[in-house]
A and B are shown apart, each in its own frame.
Chain A
């Protein structure tokens, strides 16, 4: 029997229901673990022990009254991109180092209402711009599997906290792979739902047509539990989709016999580590043994997804981040001479290099004379990429392949060249451009480092994806492994 701290949400939910432990005991155990070990990883920006214990007491009281749900009393960490009323919400930036959110994000409200206990706010790439968690104002996060390596990004603190068993689950956001890539690097299950499935209200905007909140857990079953509580229509988000939320947990065990799985040939390009390719083949064999038919498909424009993403995301970023002007909230420079000086120095000092690069890239591609050549062009190539996926889903039920070309890289390894860093997201960017749901699950290890298997569904097919992921996790035990240094 594993220790309390390394159990899944489903296991802990059972223990709480059976009275084997209490939310207060569980919360204390995890807070102590964070206090003792997080200096090695830097996965938290803010720990909120008082709030956590108050929420845990309330959850235990709720259980006594007999109105506890499956998530009541279960701890989690929120990525520091979600506004949490009365708690610092920094988005990993100096710009918001002094920002105490005056309201809760819808995701936070809903998980609070389900009775989940927030242990704190997790570290992240600044404004979610990064693939290694090295752009945070609060310093890099380290990967619990090898502390010389990155945990991935931008939800790097969220995955490190769960992988190190500081928390059984975390929220994340995924604009271009920021849940799936870090989940792959840390042996976790990371789900990015369909665009519009989960409310973006109170989630600090990076690229509004791509941003989506999701889950970071140990298992697909846990992701199903959490997504059920997070998803659903929200009047406060104009792109929220009014569509029934299935009971994801109810269909996890469905038979996969006859399911048609497409494997995009473009995922097996020269950039793919051959050992990762072997692991993907082994995972596909598991699906074959479960009765799935595995066929090759083509997404001919997939290789355009990274350059397309790096026009569209910076353009939307430049627009969204114009709100940080030093006037109403956030960082303001010392002794501004005039208004322009206040804007330029507040933003110049408040933002880090990667964020400034993206704002400048976005400003450039949106500027008169360049708009058609870059931004409009990228909107068209985005359409080509989305159309490829749509065509593939006429033939198959799910797409499968690697999440990343390689396992986690070393800190500092890719910080000199932005393009090398960007290309790490080659298999994940396209899913955001097409607005599709994507999931990464553990599929094995290469030289002691975990690698992720990606499952992509058609719009609103999260239930089928979770079903497929759960059946795989019933056949394999990769997802049960935890890092040696954080047992």
Chain B
């Protein structure tokens, strides 16, 4: 993994490695800039209109600042908890359960053709 010096800004230093966009880690809460919001929105595949950017900057910054209070908690001896019940994942036999309702499912599709889902051209 690449290393960044600690005085670099967070997303300004974001770089792309393959498809992975790597942020430089920093510890303190931050005020997001319009560029940050654009980067996050693109990662999430969300269009954000220009006139809405400053609103997202403000509110997302407030949320991140609010959750940053967790940093002050000593969790050095605490295991992460991924699930409410400490249950083990239930497994089942890997058997096919055919569901032959393609036509019904495709009634919800924006565009289909001969049982296929249509999307814009991916490869020229």
Contacts and interface: CB of A to CB of B under 8 A. Distances in A.
Interface of A: 98-100, 102, 195-196, 209-210, 235, 238-239, 241, 301, 304, 307-308, 310-311, 318, 322, 325-332, 336-345, 347-349, 351, 353, 356-357, 359-361, 363-365, 367-370, 372-374, 376-384, 386, 417-419, 422, 432-435, 459
Contacts of B27: 373
Given A364-B64, A419-B62, A422-B66, 17 more contacts: A239-B87, A304-B70, A307-B68, A325-B45, A327-B109, A329-B105, A338-B120, A345-B47, A348-B48, A351-B46, A363-B43, A363-B44, A368-B23, A369-B25, A380-B79, A419-B63, A435-B85
Contact of A328 (B41, B45, B108): B108
Contact of B22 (A195, A339, A368, A383): A368
Given A360-B56, A361-B60, A381 B40 contact: no
12 contacts: A239-B83, A310-B67, A338-B120, A340-B45, A342-B120, A347-B47, A359-B44, A377-B71, A379-B81, A380-B80, A381-B75, A435-B83
A344 B73 CA distance: 37
**Nearest 10 pairs between A and B by C-beta?**
A435-B84, A348-B47, A379-B80, A369-B23, A332-B110, A380-B75, A329-B108, A383-B81, A195-B84, A343-B45
Query: What size tier do the contact residues of chain B reach?
Result: 35 or more
A209 B84 contact: yes
A361 B84 contact: no
Contacts of A365: 67
B46 A348 contact: yes
B78 interface: yes
Contact of B24 (A361, A369, A386, A459): A369
Given A328-B108, A339-B122, A369-B25, A361 B73 contact: no
Contacts of A378: 67, 70
A359 B73 CA distance: 25
B81 to A, nearest CB: 4
Given A238-B89, A241-B87, A344 B75 contact: no
Contact of B70 (A353, A368, A377): A377
Nearest to B27: A373
Given A98-B108, A209-B83, A369-B22, A311 B70 contact: yes
B60 to A, nearest CB: 6
A210 B67 contact: no
B20 interface: yes
A386 to B, nearest CB: 6
B64 to A, nearest CB: 7
B82 interface: yes
Contacts of A370: 23, 25
B73 A304 contact: yes
Nearest to A99: B108
Contact of A372 (B25, B47, B60): B25
Interface of B: 20-25, 27, 37, 40-49, 52, 55-56, 59-60, 62-64, 66-71, 73, 75, 78-85, 87, 89-90, 92, 101, 104-105, 107-111, 117, 119-122
A209 to B, nearest CB: 5
Given A339-B122, A356-B48, A102 B40 contact: no
A196 B22 CA distance: 36
Contact of B117 (A98, A238, A328): A328
Contacts of B23: 367-370
Contacts of B40: 360, 363-364, 367
A246 B26 CA distance: 50
A209 B84 CA distance: 6
Contact of A379 (B21, B63, B82): B82
A153 to B, nearest CB: 18
Contact of A329 (B48, B87, B90, B109): B109
A374 B46 CA distance: 22
A367 B84 contact: no
Given A311-B70, A357-B56, A360-B56, A382 B81 contact: yes
A105 to B, nearest CB: 16
A308 B75 CA distance: 13
A318 B44 contact: yes
Among A196, A318, A348, A433, residue most surrounded by chain B Cβ atoms (within 10 Å): A348
A374 B67 contact: yes
A344 B47 contact: yes
A379 to B, nearest CB: 3
Contacts of A340: 45
